[in-house]
């Protein structure tokens, strides 16, 4: 058996062990850890963390670091201080961390760890580049790579949701799951929970909760049953090792995983300052389409969605088919299929009956149209002339067909 | 006195008389009339209508004709037949039309006629090019050119509106009128009426109803009082001569005038097939910005607005300031002013207090921030470091300022 068959067991390879170790000693937002990993790879970076000098580390902390909340401002201005603190931080944790114990503890609970070496590791996580997680902790029967590889949409939104938003989230999630898709969300109260519930109710497709804390203690407590149901049937995912409490910073970092694990993001309801908007922004940065559901302008819970549509290029989404259009290969918007349809409203009812008599996908003899709906030839011809002027039909050589959408 | 002082009286110039005559003998959608006018000008075109031959007219009916519902399809394929019918149509009306009588009749009712020679003729109507109206009939104390020249927005929508849409229309119209603007609409039931009412209630600014029929008989009947109030304080406008009933075709043609008389169009509520969408499309063609107000996805009355935003590039509008942004020189959308604001939601309350202590438009000494809100220096510095990482503040040489929006 190769290490790939036992990636979390005693036979975990050196590289896997190194990645898991990094996840145990550094926060997802530890910029120094990400920088040294980007420069050296997980294994050599870990060697440096264990045995390197401050100067060794300093060489790799030049340039832009993606995220960093681990050092106070003075350290970030002083590369030496920064390197000293990072080494001290890592070594303090290295002194007590026991990878095998952690893996045994996880395995006892049924929690698995995935690294890029694992066949269930989704390749799309590499879109995160320097902020790719060291590893992911997953719990549940689902195969992560399979669940998110072909048809996955994040449905996210405010915790302070309205019944309108919750109904919409459930219903879009249920339709998407019924189409065989995976609904990714954050397991939070409000829109996230409604999306998970809708997907679970569909009895098809799947739903994944991407959490900010360790999988040994489900958060938020009020969603325990929901998260347990997801764990039982599909999958819980996090980059936080067991025993890690969800913090504000970890929620922010978690949002990038929701975006990366999805092929598109739909924000169902979000207040002006909702964290769901950061998920949308991550999706944008990862070249995923972002959709947002509108609502009444009088609802504060929709203000963030309106802002995404208005100012940040999100596609307005009103129904299931428009969620599908956000997936790769879809037509997210602007296809103008119905660009003339409104004028139908102003047609007389007899003209509309004539239009309805024109077959949608083939042509008909002009002479038969009048017969079909019981009006005179001349009347039918005049109606068709009006319809042709509006670009709704095309008449050629005595036959009429629906005009192609302009 | 020049003819400009008496454009509608006995001293109306030949060109003015010619234009008015055209408005009496040809529908706004008479493509043959528009084509011959475009080729020869109103006066020579009228000469041709009176005395020309079929061959004379045929020469000017080549090429694209903007609108044409006057001829049945066979005539449009046979240029000779088309010219014969147009001449016959015009001459039949010329035989009975008496311009002076019509003008006297209008003047007796207080209805004035505007042509491009009149100082109250809005220059922006020329954006309509070949479909510029021959003349406009106006009723009320307003100066049309002045009312629509600097700050005019069309607010239009479905007749079948909801209380949500009506409230929104009234409130946006009232705010716009209070800012000194002119609210242009179509005088119809539903959103149009709500917009007019909101503007009237503002007691500032103005509102103009652009109607599809003659001004001697106000339509729809149920809005008579509203239209009378507009006529008393501001202005009713139409291109239809007195005695003309509003028809479906005239409503379609009228929509282009609403668009041309406005600097932007806001669709407040529109069903999937609402005629308001044709106004939006005209506005688009005339390079006016189009805005649309979103609503619940469960409301059929908002489906057309959602479609405009989703598929036709309309800007999502939720409040008065966003209406103003649609005007020339405004920033209709995508300015990203609040692009980072959502992350504030995830700040701890103490970090947010620190952020609030940073002055919005100047800088402050880092040392004073902690004092101001009663926390320790170190605590304040750590908070500022976190805020700086989020790009919310910039710390330089001991002073902190709000970061410029990215």
Residues of A in contact with B342 (CB under 8 A): 270, 272-278, 281, 304
Q: What is the pLDDT of residue A390?
A: 64
pLDDT value for A5: 41
Please list every residue in chain B whose beta carbon sits closer than 8 Å to the beta carbon of residue A302: 294
Q: How far apart are CA A238 and CA A109, in angstroms?
A: 15
pLDDT at A339: 38
Nearest to A73 among B164, B316, B384 (CB): B384
Cα A68 to the chain's mean position, in Å? 23
Q: How many CB pairs under 8 A join A and B?
A: 172
CATH class of A140-324: alpha beta
Convert the pLDDT of each residue in B204-228 to its tens digit.
999 999 999 999 999 999 999 999 9
CB–CB of A268/A293 below 8 Å? Answer: yes
Cis amide leading into A185 (omega within 30): no
| CA max distance for chain A | 95
Structure token digits, residue A328: 């790769």
Enumerate the domain spans of chain B. 3-97, 140-324, 341-402
Quote the minimal CA–CA distance from B309 to chain A in Å: 7
The values of phi and psi at residue A224, to 5°, are -50, -50
* Shortest Cα–Cα distance, A168 to chain B (Å): 9
**Residue B331: DSSP 8-state:** -
Separation of alpha carbons A107 and A104, rounded Å: 5
Q: Tokens 């489900």 sit at which residue?
A: A218
DSSP structural state of residue A207: E
Which position has the token pair 């918007």?
A333
Query: Does the interface predicted TM-score (ipTM) exceed 0.95?
Result: no
Express each pLDDT in B10-50 by its tens digit: 457 899 999 999 999 999 888 899 999 999 999 999 999 99
> At A123, is the secondary structure helix, strand, or coil?
helix
Residues of B in contact with A336 (CB under 8 A): 311-312
pLDDT beneath 50: ranges in chain A: 1-10, 64, 66-69, 71, 335-343, 405-406
Q: How far is B262 from chain A (nearest CA, A)?
A: 21
Alpha-carbon distance of B230 to B218, in angstroms, equals 12
Count CB atoms within 10 A of the CB of residue B292: 30
User: Which of A307, A318, A382 is nearest residue B72 as measured by Cβ atoms?
Assistant: A382
pLDDT tens profile A336-386: 433 344 445 556 667 777 887 787 667 788 878 877 777 777 778 777 777
Contact A310 B310 (CB under 8 A): no
Name the residue of chain A whose CA is nearest to B394's CA: A73
Which of A320, A324, A342, A406 has the most B C-beta neighbours within 10 Å, making it the best mutation to test the interface with B?
A342
User: In which element (H, E) is residue A154 found?
Assistant: strand A152-157
Residues of chain B with pLDDT under 70: 1-11, 63-77, 334-349, 360-361, 389-391, 403-406
pLDDT in tens, A41-68: 999 999 999 999 999 999 988 754 544 4
pLDDT score for A152: 98
**Which residues in chain A are contacts of B278 at CB distance < 8 A?**
342-343, 346
Q: What is the DSSP string of A390-406?
A: TTSEEEETTEEEEPPP-
3-state secondary structure of A237: strand
**Cβ atoms < 10 Å from Cβ of A53:** 11
Q: What is the rounded distance in angstroms from the CA atom of residue B254 to the CA atom of residue A170?
A: 43
- Does A341-402 match A140-324 at the fold level? no
Q: What tokens appear for A287 in the block?
A: 């070249």
Q: What phi, psi does B3 have (nearest 5°)? A: -65, -25
- Residues in Cβ contact with A108 at an 8 Å cutoff, skipping those fewer than 6 apart: none
Query: Apex CA B350: angle with CA A275 and CA A187, to 5°?
Result: 30
The CATH architecture of the domain made up of B341-402 is Orthogonal Bundle (1.10)
| Distant-in-sequence, close-in-space partners of B251: CB < 8 Å, separation ≥ 6 | A346, B186, B212, B275
CB contact under 8 A, B294 and A302: yes
Q: What is the pLDDT of residue B31?
A: 85
Contact state of B345 with A72 under an 8 Å Cβ cutoff: no
Q: A346, A379, A392, A400: which to substitute to probe chain B, counting the most B Cβ within 10 Å?
A: A346
- Which pair of tokens denotes residue B50? 């009176």
Task: Extract the tokens encoding B82.
Answer: 């088309």
Name which of A278, A294, A297 is nearest B343 (Cβ-Cβ): A278
Q: How far apart are CA A343 and CA A393, in angstroms?
A: 13
At residue B356, the pLDDT reads 75
């Amino acid at each position: 058996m190769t290490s790939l068959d036992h990636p979390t067991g005693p036979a975990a390879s050196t590289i896997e062990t190194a990645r898991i170790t990094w996840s145990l000693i550094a926060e997802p937002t530890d910029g120094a850890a990400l920088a040294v990993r980007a420069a050296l790879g997980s294994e050599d970076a870990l060697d440096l963390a264990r045995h390197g000098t401050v100067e060794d580390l300093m060489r790799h902390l030049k340039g832009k670091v993606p995220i960093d909340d681990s050092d106070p401002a003075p350290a970030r201005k002083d590369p030496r201080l920064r390197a000293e603190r990072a080494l001290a931080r890592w070594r303090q944790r290295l002194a007590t961390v026991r990878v095998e114990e952690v893996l045994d503890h996880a395995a006892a609970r049924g929690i698995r760890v995935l690294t890029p070496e694992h066949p269930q590791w989704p390749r799309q996580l590499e879109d995160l580049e320097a902020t790719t997680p060291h590893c992911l902790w997953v719990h549940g029967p689902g195969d992560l790579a399979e669940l998110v590889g072909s048809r996955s949409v994040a449905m996210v939104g405010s915790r302070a949701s309205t019944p309108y938003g919750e109904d919409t989230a459930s219903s879009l999630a249920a339709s998407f799951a019924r189409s065989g898709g995976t609904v990714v969300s954050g397991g939070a109260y409000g829109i996230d929970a409604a999306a998970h519930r809708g997907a679970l109710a569909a009895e098809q497709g799947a739903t994944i909760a991407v959490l900010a804390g360790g999988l040994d203690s489900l958060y938020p407590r009020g969603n325990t049953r929901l998260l347990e149901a997801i764990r039982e049937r599909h999958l819980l995912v996090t980059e936080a090792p067991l025993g890690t409490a969800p913090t504000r910073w970890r929620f922010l970092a978690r949002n990038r995983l929701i975006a990366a694990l999805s092929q598109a993001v739909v924000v169902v309801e979000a207040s002006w300052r909702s964290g769901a908007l950061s998920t949308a922004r991550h999706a944008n940065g990862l070249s995923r389409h972002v959709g947002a559901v509108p609502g009444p302008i009088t609802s504060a819970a929709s203000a963030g969605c309106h802002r995404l549509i208005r100012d940040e290029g999100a596609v307005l989404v009103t129904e299931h088919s428009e969620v599908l259009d956000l997936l790769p290969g879809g037509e997210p918007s602007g296809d103008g299929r119905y660009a003339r349809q409104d004028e139908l409203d102003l047609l007389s009812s007899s003209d509309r009956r004539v239009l309805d008599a024109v077959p949608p996908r083939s042509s008909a003899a002009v002479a038969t149209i009048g017969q079909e709906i019981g009006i005179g030839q001349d009347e039918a011809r005049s109606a068709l002339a009006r319809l042709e002027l509006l670009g709704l039909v095309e008449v050629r050589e005595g036959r009429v067909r629906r005009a192609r959408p302009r």
